[in-house]
A = this chain, B = another copy of it.
Amino acid sequence: MISSLKLARLCGVSQGTVDRALHGRPEIGAATRKRILDAARRYGYRPNPQVRELLSGKSRLVGGIVPAVNSIFFVDLFNEIKNELGKHGYRLFLTPVSDEAEFLECLEEFAARRFAAVIVVPPRDNIPIPESFSRETAVVSLLSPCHGNKTHFIRCDEVKTGRHAVDFLFAQGHRRILHLTYSRRAHGILAREKGYRMRMSELGLKSAVLTDPGVALLLTNVRRKKFTAIFAHNDWLAIAAIRTLEQNGLRVPTDISVLGVDASPTLMALYPNLTTLKYPFAQIAGNSVRVLLGKRAHKIAPTFKLKRGGTVCHL
């Protein structure tokens, strides 16, 4: 990529003249302008945004960090965020990270590069963000909160999601409902579980939670305790569960119902008839961007909308 100075030399003019031609300013002769613009096109000139950013002290870059594993949902979410950022002239650079050390290293790199903001899915809850960092760079965290001054946690009411899931299954006639979730301690995971437990208890039902290392235990659990429905933390777990059940002679939803959460595009394309609660991708993306622009977050509908599919039956 050619620089504006080199372009000026090639055209036998000064850098200032090149600047006038490129930015369509009036104080320049028509012939000179044409000559410069032609050369610029021929050499594929494009100003280096890094320098602009250095000069103005303002960057239009937003760094994104997602866990490297099981990233379907995150990538779908960040694609939405990328589109939203684009509307405001920001650009997203995404990085998958494998652990907390890499996560922090990445944050530092983004800060050192003076990125306008970072939007992250932390590997666990309450990772401390150094004061020196969050003082200058807006940190938006999704799914897990971060511990630090100016970090914004964008979320929807996951407790209500859990309650909502129970209510829906209850309305279909289910009483023995198993919650399938992850053992990772993250806000979104824990809050949904909490909502499930609260609502089950209020309805006079007994809670039962199985975490991912125990998916192998799923069958014995289902058979022995005669669950009629499974509320899975997300679509991925729901599909994994359906697979396990069907492989072992249990039919979904004839023998047992399965409810997922997210309606993540990639997985929905795979399993179009999954019954699931729609995660508000657009609102989360919208609020993430609003917050990093310094605006207040919009209120997000308190509970997820239902996508009716064929994996939950009315008892």
Contacts and interface: CB of A to CB of B under 8 A. Distances in A.
A71 B75 CA distance: 8
A136 interface: yes
A233 interface: no
A1 interface: yes
Interface of A: 1-2, 42-44, 46-51, 53-54, 68-72, 75, 78-79, 82-83, 91-96, 98, 108-109, 111-114, 130-133, 136-137, 236, 239-240, 243, 246-247, 265-266, 269-271, 273
A211 B135 CA distance: 53
Contacts of A266: 69-72
> What is the copy number of this chain in the assembly?
2
Given A79-B96, A93-B94, A54 B43 contact: no
A240 B239 CA distance: 12
A79 B72 contact: no
A79 B68 contact: yes
Given A50-B114, A51-B54, A239-B270, A133 B44 contact: yes
Given A50-B114, A113-B49, A269 B70 contact: yes
A148 to B, nearest CB: 12
Contacts of A71: 75, 79, 266
B95 A93 contact: yes
29 contacts: A1-B114, A1-B133, A2-B132, A44-B108, A44-B131, A46-B108, A47-B112, A48-B54, A48-B112, A48-B114, A49-B109, A49-B112, A49-B113, A50-B50, A50-B113, A54-B54, A70-B266, A71-B75, A72-B72, A82-B95, A82-B96, A91-B95, A91-B109, A93-B93, A93-B95, A94-B94, A94-B95, A94-B96, A246-B246
